[in-house]
Amino acid sequence: MNRSIPVLLALALLLIGFWVYPDIQEIAAGLAMFLLGMSLLEQGFQNFSGGGLERILERSTASTPKALGLGIVATALMQSSSLITVITISFLSAGMITLLGGIGIIFGANIGTTTGAWLIAGIGLKIDIAAYALPMIAISGVLGFAPGKYLEGTGRVLGGIGFLFLGIYFMKEGFDEISGQMDLASLAMTGVAGLIVYAIVGALMTVVMQSSHATMVLVITALAASQVTYENALALAIGSNVGTTVTALIGAISANYQGRRLALAHLLFNGITATVALIFIVPLASAVRELSDSVGIAEDDFTLRLAMFHTLFNVLGVGLMLPFARQLVGFLERQIPEPKVDISVPHFLNDDVLLFPETAAEALRNETLHLLSNTTRLVASDIGVTVEDLRKCTDIAGDISTSLFARSPGITYETRVKPLYGAILKFAARLNASELPPHMSDHLFDLREAAGRLSRAAKDAEHLRRNTEFYATHPSGKASRLYNDLRAQISRILIELDAMSEADPETRSSLWLDDERVEIRRHRSALTEEVEQAIRDERISTTAATSFLNDARTAHHLMDNLLEAARTCYGETDPALAEIEQLLTIEEDEAEDIGQSQHIAQKEA
């Protein structure tokens, strides 16, 4: 569905309305101000991304109750279920939260969004909010020129609230003015037909305006001016919930499979909730009456009773669906299965994750890990082994020397590394580092550098392949033993990286890489001496020795690049912990000295 269709439909209805009923211009202008306020609020809150907002979302979805509570609180504070949905889809696409956590947030957002009706009915229609709106808009205009995105975000939030207030004021005044000239309540319908027709109207209004908040403020102000009956207002409120699913479905068109699953969950939740509310409208209305009387809401205060109904049927929907959340996840996974994995294409980089710095950084990290996995398999193939076989090894050196040199078909730099590396560079180039916090900008640079290291490691492996394969398949005495030793050293690194990828993230540390760096330098010193001695003993020709030393240097660069890329991918992302980890990391010259010292100690022993 084209996103421009609702806009064109709204424009056509607006022009027809102005021509037929010129007096509705004030209502239309108020609605436009309200929608502008919603947009400014969303933009303002997005300015605060890149830190707390995303970390709270990531850490508060460990359980379904936490996710539900987060959805309620975040939507109540931001007054924008659309923004919460966008953030949730972004985190899902980046792999930072689970589908179950995302569903919990969406359920909570449906309850949180009902606070808007309470604010409009309880405050917006009871006080002169225009008097507060104008100063807010004036202050927001000044803050819009302030340096720094947080001050700018504050200005947009204030401006958004100001335009929301102003929009409610003009809609209220507009309905009051036309009440003496036309009676929209004369179009009221009763019975089942009225429920169905007005629910459809409510859904269409939300689709056109792309905001259930806008639909509810229009319904509440019309109800306050007696331009719509209470019974029909209940149906409009139910319809507005259904209409929001269309917005989510449109947004899911460009999303990955997780985003489409979440959109379907949203549709099922609102569809089932609306159906139950329509079927049980009479007992629900009675429950609203009892609850309203118990909290002191006046019998003729239909706007507050509508807000009560809006909250009640959304809470009812959550109560019905939450116990079956895990079954819902299973159903969604069956209906929208995960696409067949193609390891040669990016898995995490898409437009959704670009919306927020935290999700962009996590997606880039996950994609670099994907590249690390592909690179280790390419390296293994180029030295004639597989990662799966290496996992079973009990004696790496012995198994390497006795096993056949077997390359995995179809694993090449062009098919497994180059496409991912190119996608990572393109994605990183789309991120504006100047708008990111310094620690995050540095982390993104490190990830891009890690991807470059992996690309160089893959090319080094392809360079090594010819000689390692030749000496593994053509026994040549000392030269074959040296190349097998080099293959065993690379294999040991691959095994360690594979184990690290499977380790628990909570206990995993990249500091062990220092031990491997030291071992590489010890091995390099030992190999150099061994080759020199072999030349003196005439066990290897100078031509073969020269080729081997060049290949050994390439292999050690390969292993260094793999280890440094792994350090970046698995290292701490929290700035404070990352600084501590950096302080504990051994410098290059220290690793060189320790490696040589260990080699000398082994010789003397």
Q: Which domains does the chain have, with CATH numbers?
A: 24-335 (no CATH), 351-604 (1.20.58)
What pLDDT sits at residue 581?
42
Which secondary structure element, helix H or strand E, spans residue 64, and what is its range?
Answer: helix 64-78
* Residue of 164 and 268 predicted with greater confidence: 268
What pLDDT sits at residue 342?
62
Residue 237 has pLDDT above 80, yes or no: yes
Assess contact for 230 and 302: CB atoms under 8 A. yes
Return the top range by mean pLDDT from 338-347, 414-423, 498-507, 539-548: 414-423
Residue 586: count of CB within 10 angstroms of its CB: 16
What pLDDT sits at residue 138?
86
What pLDDT sits at residue 91?
76
Instruction: Find the mean pLDDT for residues 537-550.
Output: 83
Residue 48 has pLDDT above 80, yes or no: no
- What distances in angstroms separate CA 103 from CA 148, 201, 257, 310, one per listed residue? 34, 27, 14, 20
Instruction: Find the mean pLDDT for residues 541-552.
Output: 86
What pLDDT sits at residue 47?
65
Range with the poorest average pLDDT among 60-64, 78-82, 349-353, 453-457: 78-82
What pLDDT sits at residue 344?
72
Range with the poorest average pLDDT among 101-105, 140-144, 268-272: 140-144
Identity at 423, one-letter amino acid code: A
What pLDDT sits at residue 166?
78
Instruction: Find the mean pLDDT for residues 482-498.
Output: 86
* Residue of 576 and 138 predicted with greater confidence: 138
Instruction: Find the mean pLDDT for residues 132-153.
Output: 78
Instruction: Find the mean pLDDT for residues 529-544.
Output: 80
* Residue of 176 and 288 predicted with greater confidence: 288
Percentage of the chain modeled with pLDDT above 70? 76
Task: For helices 99-112 and 257-279, give the axis angle rounded to 10 degrees.
Answer: 40
Range with the poorest average pLDDT among 38-52, 200-214, 453-467, 560-574: 38-52
Which secondary structure element, helix H or strand E, spans residue 410, and what is its range?
Answer: none
Query: How far, in Å, CA of 120 to CA of 593, rounded?
Result: 71
Instruction: Find the mean pLDDT for residues 435-450.
Output: 80
Query: How far, in Å, CA of 163 to CA of 277, rounded?
Result: 32
Instruction: Find the mean pLDDT for residues 580-585.
Output: 41
What pLDDT sits at residue 501?
79
Residue 44 has pLDDT above 50, yes or no: yes
Residue 419 has pLDDT above 80, yes or no: yes
What pLDDT sits at residue 280?
87
At 244, the pLDDT band (50, 70, 90 cuts) reads confident
What pLDDT sits at residue 456?
93
What pLDDT sits at residue 577?
40
Task: For helices 281-294 and 230-252, give the axis angle rounded to 10 degrees.
Answer: 110
Predicted confidence (pLDDT) per residue in 185-225, tens digit: 555 677 778 788 888 888 887 776 666 777 787 788 888 77
What pLDDT sits at residue 331?
92
Residue 253 has pLDDT above 80, yes or no: no
Q: Cα 507 from chain centroid?
A: 24
Residue 133 has pLDDT above 50, yes or no: yes
Tokens linked to 556: 């050690």
Residue 513 has pLDDT above 70, yes or no: no
Assess contact for 465 and 442: CB atoms under 8 A. no
Tokens linked to 604: 């003397």
Q: What is the mean pLDDT of the chain?
A: 77
* Residue of 294 and 150 predicted with greater confidence: 294
Instruction: Find the mean pLDDT for residues 507-520.
Output: 65
Alpha helices, H only, 113-256: 115-119, 130-143, 149-178, 191-209, 212-224, 230-252
- Strands (DSSP E) found in 395-464: none
Token pair 């935290």: residue: 358
Instruction: Find the mean pLDDT for residues 394-419.
Output: 78
Residue 184 has pLDDT above 80, yes or no: no
What pLDDT sits at residue 585?
47
Residue 370 has pLDDT above 50, yes or no: yes
Tokens linked to 144: 């819009």
Instruction: Find the mean pLDDT for residues 546-565.
Output: 88
* Residue of 133 and 48 predicted with greater confidence: 133
Return the top range by mean pLDDT from 42-56, 393-407, 541-555: 541-555
Contacts of 213 (CB under 8 A, 6+ apart): 34, 38, 79, 80, 81, 113, 116
What pLDDT sits at residue 443?
82
Range with the poorest average pLDDT among 63-67, 89-93, 377-381, 583-587: 583-587
Return the top range by mean pLDDT from 59-73, 287-301, 397-411, 526-540: 287-301
Q: Is 468 exposed, middle or buried (0-12, 13-18, 19+ CB in 10 A)?
A: buried
- Strands (DSSP E) found in 498-538: none
Q: Is 223 helix (H, G, I), strand (E, B) or coil?
A: helix
At 177, the pLDDT band (50, 70, 90 cuts) reads low
- What distances in angstroms separate CA 425 from CA 419, 420, 451, 455, one per listed residue? 10, 9, 8, 12
What pLDDT sits at residue 125?
59
* Residue of 317 and 400 predicted with greater confidence: 317
Task: For helices 257-279 and 81-93, give the axis angle rounded to 10 degrees.
Answer: 140
